[in-house]
Structure 1
Amino acid sequence: MHWKKAPESLVALFDEVAPRDAPAERRKMFGYPAVFVNGNMFAGLHEERLVMRLPDEARTEFLALPGAVPFEPMPGRPMKEYVVAPAALLSDPEALRSWLDRSLRYAVSLPPKEPKPRK
């Protein structure tokens, strides 16, 4: 599958608003910037979208925002617990940071993911 490169402006925004301090760990997922805690990705970019992982209650609240949708990396293949940040949220770094903080707190509550052995 060939995905589009994320726009530089979105990469710069993600770099500005994504958590930098421990326990968050920045690395790439499928070539896109992402942030992990204990091996669990909680936010990242995919093509022209910023996605984040939220618990049920917060996800319901988030999906009520105009333009917010569940994340589907491929049509018909939703990624459980992940949502796409709407354009209005991308233009409000303070509000975006608040949602990313909620995503981080959720990721911290998850059990650590065992690293997969390298082939």
Structure 2
Amino acid sequence: MEMPKASDADKERFRSVVPDRPDVVVKPMFGNLGAFVNGNMFAGLFGPVIGVKLDDEARVELESTERTVPFGPAERPMAGYAGLPEVWNAEGDGDHARVRAWVEKALDHVATLPPKEPKERKPKAAKK
């Protein structure tokens, strides 16, 4: 499975569309970025593609009106996520606003989900 790396410009663009709120955390994931609320990812960056987790109704709306792309590895796209149209990656205020609106819609949806419980870390074996 090939993992494309996001460029610095891709990461900057991603951060610019993620709402600046105290409950939102952006962190690295496999050379890309993910945006989380309550421990759940609502938007991610996979190479140059921004993906958003939407409720079924909003995802159908987006996919039926825009040229979305699968989000994640081609062999195993992430269920429940829609990759925003690649043409929206071009510089332009109109597309930036559209991306930001869908990211905010994803945040609103995922914020209603139960918080993700942190996984317990296994203790490291003692060195001899």
Please state which band the TM-score falls in when normalised by the shorter chain. 0.7 to 0.9
Q: How many pairs does the alignment contain?
A: 118
- The answer for the alignment partner of 2:45 in structure 1 is 45
1:110 to partner: Cα distance: 0.5
Alpha-carbon distance in structure 2 between the residues aligned to 1:6 and 1:65: 26
Q: Deviations over 1:26-59 (max 9, x none)?
A: 1122231211011100111112311111100000
Amino acid at match of 1:57: E
* 2:99 pairs with one of 87, 96, 105: 96
Alpha-carbon distance in structure 2 between the residues aligned to 1:88 and 1:73: 19
Higher mean C-alpha displacement, 42-51 vs 93-102: 42-51
% identical equivalent positions: 40
Compared with structure 1, are the counterparts of its residues 52 and 39 closer, same or farther at alpha carbon in structure 2 (3 Å cutoff)?
Answer: same
For the 8 Å contact 2:10–2:47, the answer to whether it is kept is no
**What secondary structure, in the 3-state scheme, does the structure 2 residue paired with 1:78 have?**
coil
Higher mean C-alpha displacement, 94-103 vs 17-26: 17-26
**What secondary structure, in the 3-state scheme, does the structure 2 residue paired with 1:42 have?**
strand
Alpha-carbon distance in structure 1 between the residues aligned to 2:96 and 2:34: 17
TM-score, reference length from structure 1: 0.87
* 2:112 pairs with one of 105, 109, 113: 109
Map 1:79-94 onto structure 2 (within 5 A).
79-91=78-90, 92-94=95-97
Larger Rg: 2
Q: Deviations over 1:74-116 (max 9, x none)?
A: 41x2322111011233331111111011000011110111111
Amino acid at match of 2:18: A
What runs of 5+ residues in structure 2 fail to find an aligned partner? 123-128
TM-score, reference length from structure 2: 0.82
- The answer for the alignment partner of 2:125 in structure 1 is none
What runs of 5+ residues in structure 1 fail to find an aligned partner? none
- The answer for the alignment partner of 2:31 in structure 1 is 31
